[in-house]
Structure 1
Amino acid sequence: MQAFITALQLLTRIPLRIPRYDPDSQAKVAGYAVLFYPVVGLLIGGLLALLLGLLQLIGQSEAYLLHGALLITCWVIISGALHLDGLADSADAWLGGFGDRERTLAIMKDPCAGPAGVTAIIVILLVKFAALSELTRTLWPALLVIPVLARLQVVLLFLTTAYVRPGGMGASATDFLPRKTAWAWLLLIAMAVIAFIDTGWMLIVAMGLVFVVLRAIMQQRLGGTTGDTAGALIEITEAVLLCLIVLST
């Protein structure tokens, strides 16, 4: 329960208070919290699906543009724009880092957003909005599964990639993540998506391709990952999977 609450507090803006632990316990909780990232994704997807259902009940079901705008707004509010911030920081760092690892990491720590970061946010929100607006009443299964798969990417990332900033929750998450349980969790979710979603196999393949490409980019520049690049991975995965569902229907 402590690990679930930690994951919920980290990945959403749902107001929760977590008791303070000693450093050793806090590190272990951070590691186990990673297992609950997909569960938090399911909660986010459930809230979005519920919002869509309410919109279709109280208004015109053909108001696709408005539904898309309200869904993307709610999506950003629930997550507190946390992953968008990571995307913006990563875009600024990759453009301004000029291939240098230390410069890239330094730019990521800068709280100010540059033109690359702002552009990245605009593009990703525009793509998501367009995809959400195109989807019909059958959208709710997509709204449930896409946030799950996007956060499952972070589980896979922390399993396979070094965290390059020493100390902090990210380093603790990779150090104390129960690896056997995490691999089993990955396999179970992937099998469930393939079994219960018509286009599930395509979603898993696309998710894997996004992961391989972005992880290779992280490895080449940083030799690992950071919290910002993990957030960028979530945002890009969500956008790609939304587009895939639209194009395949």
Structure 2
Amino acid sequence: MPILRALLIALGLLTRFPLPTLQPTATENEYGRSVLAYPLVGALIGLLLTLAAILLLPWIPKLILASALLILWVWCSGALHLDGLADSADAWVGGMGDRQRTLQLMKDPHCGSSAVVTLVLLLLLKWSSLLTLLDSPHLPLFWLSPFLGRSALLLLLLTTPYVRPEGMGASAARSLPHKSGWLLLLSLTLLCCLLAWPLALLAITSLLLLFVLFRQALLKRLSGTTGDTAGALCELSETITLLALTLAP
């Protein structure tokens, strides 16, 4: 399968960029291989945001710029992962420890108080971290946040069963080439460390700690992952990476 087609499928799924839509014609095997392009999608979003931040910083007040960057960030994914976070929050609280009830609530299109509070707190944390990062010498490494957030999706699908038998997520999980995925993750980790040492190591370590705790919770409650919990992981991974960059000396 051509690399460009895999990237276009991943971009069509994870972003709102005006590109040709290949999802209707994609096969299950193509969905699986497109997961390998998720980190690249994150890198493209990260580079766009970082470039916008650096170019606009001299011209726009930091408070407004932080808000504009957050809006652009949300637009890039069409709030796809935020929707997964909201559904996961409602289901996790409303499910009261029951697996089937939790899975059922994730399909409910209505937004409860747990979802609203979770979204507000996460976006507030992202906004305040962005505002701090605009005053930091680490601003050029902003791209690591979207990049590692989507790399976490690849890691999740490589290590965690997908609990729903239907949907694009299930197709991607079944057909994901594991050997290529692990080689890609290892290569990307080494590349990140080379490009952004030592902050990349701090960000990756923070992300791995979050991933272990998140995955344990998923296995305990659901015995695996869903598309919604994958979206939640992406948002949490972006945030923990952004915090690591912000709080680094």
* Matching residue of 1:171: 170
Alignment of 1:1-249 (within 5 A): 1-19=4-22, 20-21=24-25, 26-59=27-60, 63-135=61-133, 136=135, 138-197=137-196, 198-249=198-249
> Distance between the aligned counterparts of 2:58 and 2:98, measured in 1?
53
Question: TM-score, normalised to structure 1's length?
Answer: 0.94
**Superposition deviation, residue 58 in structure 1:** 3.1
**Superposition deviation, residue 143 in structure 1:** 1.9
> Distance between the aligned counterparts of 1:50 and 1:211, measured in 2?
28
**Superposition deviation, residue 79 in structure 1:** 0.8
Q: Letter of the 2:227 partner, please give it.
A: G
**238-247 or 85-94, larger mean C-alpha shift:** 238-247
> Distance between the aligned counterparts of 2:216 and 2:81, measured in 1?
20
CA RMSD of the aligned region, Å?
1.3
CA contact (8 A) 2:16 2:75 kept: yes
**Superposition deviation, residue 140 in structure 1:** 4.0
Q: Letter of the 1:151 partner, please give it.
A: R
Q: Letter of the 1:219 partner, please give it.
A: L
CA contact (8 A) 1:64 1:134 kept: no
Q: Letter of the 2:147 partner, please give it.
A: V
> Distance between the aligned counterparts of 1:111 and 1:141, measured in 2?
38
**Superposition deviation, residue 67 in structure 1:** 1.6
Cα deviation digits, residues 6-38 of structure 1 (max 9, x gap)? 1001111112333443xxx61011101100001
> Distance between the aligned counterparts of 2:57 and 2:212, measured in 1?
38
Unmatched segments (≥5 aa) in structure 2: none
**192-201 or 181-190, larger mean C-alpha shift:** 192-201
Question: TM-score, normalised to structure 2's length?
Answer: 0.94
> Distance between the aligned counterparts of 2:73 and 2:126, measured in 1?
10
**Superposition deviation, residue 184 in structure 1:** 0.5
> Distance between the aligned counterparts of 1:209 and 1:246, measured in 2?
18
Unmatched segments (≥5 aa) in structure 1: none
CA contact (8 A) 2:144 2:241 kept: no
Q: Letter of the 1:210 partner, please give it.
A: L
**Superposition deviation, residue 137 in structure 1:** 5.7
**Superposition deviation, residue 144 in structure 1:** 1.4
SS at structure 2 position matched to 1:239: helix
**Superposition deviation, residue 54 in structure 1:** 2.7
**Superposition deviation, residue 231 in structure 1:** 0.5
> Distance between the aligned counterparts of 2:58 and 2:63, measured in 1?
16
**Superposition deviation, residue 138 in structure 1:** 3.3
Cα deviation digits, residues 51-74 of structure 1 (max 9, x gap)? 112312434xxx322221111111
**Superposition deviation, residue 47 in structure 1:** 1.1
SS at structure 1 position matched to 2:19: coil
Paired residue total: 243
**Superposition deviation, residue 242 in structure 1:** 1.0
